[in-house]
Amino acid sequence: MITITLPDGSRREFPQPQTVAEVAASIGAGLAKAALAGKVDGKLVDTSHRIDADAVLAIVTDKDADGLEIIRHSTAHLLAYAVKQLFPEAQVTIGPVIENGFYYDFAYKRPFTPEDLVAIEKRMGELAAKNEPVVRRVLPRDEAVEHFKAQGELYKAEIIGSIPADQDVSLYREGDFEDLCRGPHVPSTGRLKHFKLMKVAGAYWRGDQANEQLQRIYGTAWASKEALAQYLTMLEEAEKRDHRRLGRELDLFHLDEYSPGMVFWHPRGWTVWQQVEQYMRRVYQDNGYQEVKGPQILDRKLWEKSGHWEKYRDAMFTTESEKHDYAIKPMNCPGHILIFKQGIKSYRDLPLRYGEFGNCHRNEPTGGLHGIMRVRGFTQDDGHIFCTEDHILPECVAYTTLLQQVYKDFGFADIIYKVATRPAARIGSDEIWDKAEHALIESLRQSGCEFEISPGDGAFYGPKIEYTLKDAIGRPWQCGTMQVDFSMAERLDAVYVAEDSSRRHPVMLHRAIVGSLERFIGILIEQHAGALPAWLAPVQVVVASITEVQADYAASVAKSLQKQGVRINLDLRNEKINYKIREHSMQKVPFILVVGDKEKANGTVAVRARGNQDLGVMPLADFLQKITSDIAMKV
């Protein structure tokens, strides 16, 4: 007799061992049909897995995150199956699940074409429709190596050959295609219905440029037709919002081969930058931060003492002068500690909050660069709070409230909260990490935030809260952070005089709200599809005359608005007014003021708002009141 405990706590007894599929069938025909896999005592297994002892079992369906991952991994195998049928000489390598989909790498004598992808996807559909069972078997390692060598699958044989000799390996077969895999997989190919192949790219075998180049086919797979359609629509919308294209079209910035991973800001783009920076500067001022500025280049000895040289050396730009090694700073924290150390600090001075718009450099791989979202040179709204242990909780609670307001002002309402806990490679004692993790978790509880734990994802010097935004089309962007650090101040000999006159090391809270300004501006561009709200727009108002006769009046309107701090573009060109309106609309200007003879005679302006909205004719004072209100309300 074996006892199966289900997620709701109920128990079922069986006189003999049962497969996951049999347990599902005993619960109900609907669940049996929906079952993709099982989770036995926390381990994912196939529905064919036989349970021969008491266990806790959860049936996995396509409504579960695990179920969706199994669908995607099984679809990667279906892709390889289809490729082998259409291109028998192709060799298969690996095919993992990635965010929103999967890929599979192949070695083939010629590049796959777009027409090939169409044919492969069609064949995948045909193979899925056959509803072939997916069957698992286990072989000794050496036997599996010989099996794949005999089939000419040398890459697969090499993968298996790297596994310890005393380990067995599992293989999965569907039809006449068999692949190496840990599993689990869907019970049959008929469960794979909603997928699409996306693109082909190059990839080196085992990620090493010294190895041969393979072809990587990317795909996506979903649990339903609706989910697939929604994802493809989101991709289309994301393409329209791509900050790189909009950056060119709106003349905001460019990237240049003479400085890869660095941004060349154009006047309009730099105006947006300044609006973000000045807004954050006011946040500093209003919340007790003292703005500081540290040097770009610091001696290697400092980075060794802080621990960064050991952990980040490969990502640091270095130089040498007069037999001394230096590094361009990849982060601002050691410099802030050096500022803190100047003069004697008392417990009465704490918490002491420093803020810096610190320019940092990291030697990111060329292949990882992405527009202004991932760069080598970036500026952070970086802040460090030097405090006591008693200050940690209230400082973290106050910070979360502040961050929520900032994100709201920039148009983001949906925030995901994660607490990243201690990694395997770290500095500091377990007791210190316990305190730090507890403070972060408790601060989110007191803030009323739902959160999740990310085990092992903390920095080497302390745990952190990660604040992730969701944009207008549902994409997540991790921006803000709050990190508790009990170690770095001690490593760099920073102390304060405690109430009992002893010398103690302050706790250091590392925090950033927008993070990299470059990346955040890229997010803003995509969030608003380039149509930035009036308070951020590089040009807030265009004043356009219908003919040259109204030039003087148009200029006076522009001057009046400029005196009130409105960013103006005056268009007096000898062009048709509809041409002017269309051109400025393409530049996504919030307001276009048209002035003709009637407006000149009456001291009014004809107002057109973004989105082809005709707001009618109004006195200039009324328009000024409207735009001033929009800017103040950040809409």
Would you please indicate which residues are annotated as catalytic (active-site) residues? 333, 362, 380, 382, 384, 464, 510
Structure tokens at 256: 């240049």
* Continuous H helices in 369-411: 389-409
Residue 635: partners with Cβ closer than 8 Å, 6 or more residues away: 533, 534, 535
Pairing of strands 415-420, 464-470: antiparallel
In this structure, what is the dihedral angle of CA atoms 398, 402, 408, 410, given to the nearest 10 degrees? -160
Instruction: Give the residues across from 169 on adjacent strands.
Output: 139
Structure tokens at 32: 């049996």
Is the previous residue joined to 184 through a cis bond, with omega within 30 degrees of 0?
yes
Per-residue buried b or exposed e for 222-247, using 16+ beta carbons within 10 Å of the residue's own CB:
bbeeeebeebeeeeeeeeebbbbebb
Structure tokens at 468: 């992730």
Environment class of residue 522 by beta-carbon count within 10 Å: exposed (0-12), middle (13-18) or buried (19+)? Answer: buried
Residue 153: partners with Cβ closer than 8 Å, 6 or more residues away: 91, 92
Instruction: Give the residues across from 253 on adjacent strands.
Output: 265
Triad 336, 469, 526: Cα angle to 5°? 105
Q: Which of 215, 250, 345 is nearest to 290 (CA)?
A: 345
Amino acid, single-letter form, for residue 169:
V
Pairing of strands 253-255, 263-265: antiparallel
Residue 84 · residue 127 · CB < 8 Å: no
Residue 252: partners with Cβ closer than 8 Å, 6 or more residues away: 246, 265, 266, 268, 269, 272, 525, 538
Dihedrals phi, psi of 342, to nearest 5 degrees = -80, 115
Cα–Cα distance between 59 and 137 in angstroms, integer? 22
Amino acid, single-letter form, for residue 454:
S
C-alpha distances in Å from residue 329, one per residue of 61, 293, 316, 361, 508: 48, 13, 7, 6, 18
Count the residues in the chain.
635
3 state DSSP class of 513: strand
Cα–Cα distance between 59 and 36 in angstroms, integer? 8
